[in-house]
Structure 1
Amino acid sequence: MTADREPDVVLADHGTVAEIRLNRVAARNALSTALAEELIGAAEGVRELGARAVVLSSAAPGAFCVGADLKERGRLSDAGFGAQRLVFRRAFGSLRDLHVPVVAAVHGHALGGGFELALCCDLIVADETAVVGLPEVRLGIVPGGGGTQLLPRRAGYGTAADLILTGRHVPAIEAAKLGLIDRLVPAGHDLATALEIAGQIAANSPVAVTNARNALRRALDTDLASGLDIEDAAWRATVFSADRREGVRAFLERRSPIWP
């Protein structure tokens, strides 16, 4: 980023909640190499803030993120595509690998890599203006930000095949029915709702949230018996922690807990 332009990604501190805001407004947050690099930096900055939850949002009216910057890609050589691919994989991975829960606040178009950014989050809040989709096959490419893996885990194989193989756009109400988003809110309420949810998460025991989230994620790739063993390990790691002792003590004393 040069000194004479706004950053493509802004990291905002809301106390126990951090906000990663996509800020390439004029391009409707089209994913450029520079934006991807700044997203990596913002994700790294979350740990320094000590946040317990994160919201991924957009500053662009009418768009969460419209996908890859095709103008930039039109100038890339095959070698340039390969180099950009490495940066993009790191960027998407930086969201998936954040150590705290992430809530996406989606409005307007969230297409291609833009929808994949949302899919990298634990929860997706979308307002009534949202339109989601993975239209890559229309351009002779395939989703590359995790869409072919994350979407079937979220909505099932059939729904994922429908979206990915047709490349169609899905409006908010249908997206909610298909399980593509988790909470549908009135227009303009996506960010406030996402911040509220993140605040609720951040108010809970950090140890319990971390262990529960890890168990949830590992459950996607295992059988029930193994999953129950994973849950048992998460329970044991939590119940003998200082957080559990403080949580019970605060409940009995009728006060808010102060988590160790």
Structure 2
Amino acid sequence: MAEWQTISLNDDLSEDHVYTLQLNRPAAMNSLNTLMGIELIECLNFLQEQTSVRVLVVTGSGEKSFCAGADLKERKGMSNEQWKEQHIIFEEAFELLRKFPFPVIAAVNGFALGGGLEMALSCDFRYAADHAKMALPEVRLGIIPGVGGTQLLPRAIPLGLAKEMLFRGNQIDAQQALSFGIVNEVLSKEELIPRTLEIAKEIGRNAPLSLKAIKKSIQSGLAKDLEAAISIELDEYYKCANSNDRQEGIRSFNEKRQPEWRGE
């Protein structure tokens, strides 16, 4: 497996079809620098080639921060051209995360600010430690979210709450994030990773073609009217219905055993 400087990839649960991607710049609150953007692209492309992957968990190292957004110390003194070159890297990394073919779960273990919250929102759903804080504070810095925040947040929570967060740039705590619908569950810092991996392994036991089809149906359908979205779902349904795994699902049910999915 490849090794990276700013992220680490744990495949200890690969037999459960779960991989854990950890942002690994704890001294900088796991903030995003250019190297991390490049390495995220490399890692996500690598993972898409692994047939054992069915679920990806994304988290930060340490207990203080999931990701504090872009590394502003690195950006100090950048020309507009250098800033844009860096941002294009971030855009590609976040697009790969959003379009990852299998479920992606964020385990938010602390601060998720700016690009950090956008990274969490780019995942399919999120769990948070009870000390986590979240914000999109870009408006206070003279910019706006640039890797999906203005689009992902209003799709995740009620529009009025999303607009308030974006216009104010204020931090919310984990319980507020739960009440808003940003996260699915709030856990103690000790429970966060075990609970996230428990859910990830449960998902990983399901049919890989079905997982991919569900994700594609949701992502592609959300941008369509209902009739077009149902058509997308039916296309994916018949791909699964005509698969060998569908036959295996029926056999295993009737034989009262665990299915042996082949992804075909």
TM-score range normalised by the length of the shorter chain: over 0.9
Deviations 1:94-131, CA, capped at 9 Å, x for gaps? 21121211110112110100000101101111121111
Aligned pair count? Answer: 256
Q: Is 1:188 aligned to 2:186, yes or no?
A: no
Counterpart CA distance in 2 for 1:49 and 1:222 is: 31
Deviations 1:203-252, CA, capped at 9 Å, x for gaps? 10011111111111123212222222222222211112111110110011
Could you tell me the percent identity over the aligned residues?
Answer: 38
SS at match of 1:49: coil
Alpha carbons 1:105, 1:126 under 8 Å: kept: yes
Alpha carbons 2:63, 2:189 under 8 Å: kept: no
In structure 2, the partner of 1:10 is 8
Alpha carbons 1:127, 1:190 under 8 Å: kept: yes
Alpha carbons 1:29, 1:60 under 8 Å: kept: no
Counterpart CA distance in 1 for 2:114 and 2:63 is: 18
Look up the equivalent residue of 1:254 and give its one-letter code: K
TM-score, length-normalised on structure 1?
A: 0.94
- CA drift at 1:136: 0.4
- CA drift at 1:164: 0.7
Counterpart CA distance in 2 for 1:217 and 1:33 is: 28
In structure 1, the partner of 2:66 is 64
Alpha carbons 2:158, 2:180 under 8 Å: kept: no
| Equivalent residues in 2 for 1:18-167, closer than 5 Å | 18-50=19-51, 51-167=53-169
SS at match of 2:202: helix
| Equivalent residues in 2 for 1:190-229, closer than 5 Å | 190-229=192-231
Look up the equivalent residue of 1:24 and give its one-letter code: R
Alpha carbons 2:101, 2:216 under 8 Å: kept: no
Deviations 1:4-25, CA, capped at 9 Å, x for gaps? xx81111111211111110011
Deviation beyond 3 Å, 4+ runs, structure 1: none
Counterpart CA distance in 1 for 2:236 and 2:202 is: 21
Counterpart CA distance in 1 for 2:198 and 2:220 is: 26
RMSD of equivalent CA atoms: 1.5
SS at match of 1:254: coil
Alpha carbons 1:68, 1:112 under 8 Å: kept: yes
In structure 2, the partner of 1:179 is 181
- CA drift at 1:178: 0.5
Look up the equivalent residue of 1:152 and give its one-letter code: P
- CA drift at 1:134: 0.3
Q: Which runs of 5+ in 2 are unaligned?
A: none
Alpha carbons 1:24, 1:60 under 8 Å: kept: no
Q: Which runs of 5+ in 1 are unaligned?
A: none
